[in-house]
Amino acid sequence: MCYIACMSKQYNTSEQSEEQQKTKERIIAAASKVLAEKGYEATTLREISREAQAAPGLVHYYFGGKDELLVEVLQAAGRRFHQRMEHLVQHAPGDRSLEEVLTQLRERVDLEPDVYRLRYESFSLGLHNPVIEPRVRERLAQRRNEIGSVMAKVLENSERTDGAKRSSLDPTILGALLLSIFDGLALQKIMDPTFDLEAAYHLLAQMLRGLLASFEGERSL
């Protein structure tokens, strides 16, 4: 009897946990939609709960408030994009992986401008709200690591193509530099639609190819 009761309890706990995860994902998806449509300041938790078809108390229970929910929305969007980039560099030809990555990043500014707008909102919150600051700092670290991971694979692809070793080039540091460039270029494009983002990314590609070539030269000395 104890065995049956324990197994039933484990099953119910697992089932409940799965249902809770689905509810959280539904709230995050709803928040992403409402935040994109109305912006951070105009969005209320009640609107998000209505869009998610969830009780307002559940939004508070799972996320605490709108600030925390904003970070969760950005994390979810970041995970999806990072998975897409990882898949891209795994399947792109070695000599084309850098260009493919930069093309995806450039096109994302036009395809998902709301992600960038919400990201800048999170920066402002992190600077002025000590409660949300650790979450924003954590997300920045995650993004550095994500970009570094993608660039590490780009470097591996380049090494397989030309046979040159670039082990002295730290992809994490490169990721930190590129993070600043990507966000800065996106901000300029969003604030000024006439800004030539394509030309900027073309120059960035040339600079990165030159950087990779310089490390190849160091190894050959």
Angle, alpha carbons 204-208-209 (nearest 5°) = 115
Q: Given this model, what pLDDT does residue 6 score?
A: 47
Residue 4 has pLDDT above 50, yes or no: no
Tell me whether domains 18-64 and 66-220 share a fold.
no
* Type of residue at 117: R
* Residue boundaries of the structural domains of the chain: 18-64, 66-220
List pLDDT tens digits, range 78-126.
Answer: 999 999 999 998 888 777 889 999 999 999 999 999 999 999 999 999 9
pLDDT of residue 164: 55
CA–CA dist 144, 40 (Å, integer)? 24
Contacts of 114 (CB under 8 A, 6+ apart): 35, 36
What architecture does CATH give domain 66-220? Orthogonal Bundle (1.10)
Q: What's the pLDDT tens digit per position in 132-176?
A: 899 999 999 999 999 999 988 888 887 766 655 555 778 888 899
Which pLDDT value is given to residue 167? 57
Domain covering 18-64, topology: Arc Repressor Mutant, subunit A (1.10.10)
Encoding tokens for residue 182? 């990507």
Task: Name the least confident of 48-57, 67-76, 130-139, 159-168.
Answer: 159-168
Integer Cα distance of 98 and 35 in angstroms = 32
**DSSP codes, the chain:** -HHHHHHHHHHHHHHHHHHHHHHHHHHHHHHHHHHHHH-TTT--HHHHHHHHT--HHHHHHHHSSHHHHHHHHHHHHHHHHHHHHHHHHHHS-TTTHHHHHHHHHHHHHHH-HHHHHHHHHHHHHHHH-TTTHHHHHHHHHHHHHHHHHHHHHHHHHHHHHH----TTS-HHHHHHHHHHHHHHHHHHHHH-TTS-HHHHHHHHHHHHHHHHHHHHHHHH-
Q: Give the C-alpha separation, 9 to 15, whole Å.
A: 10
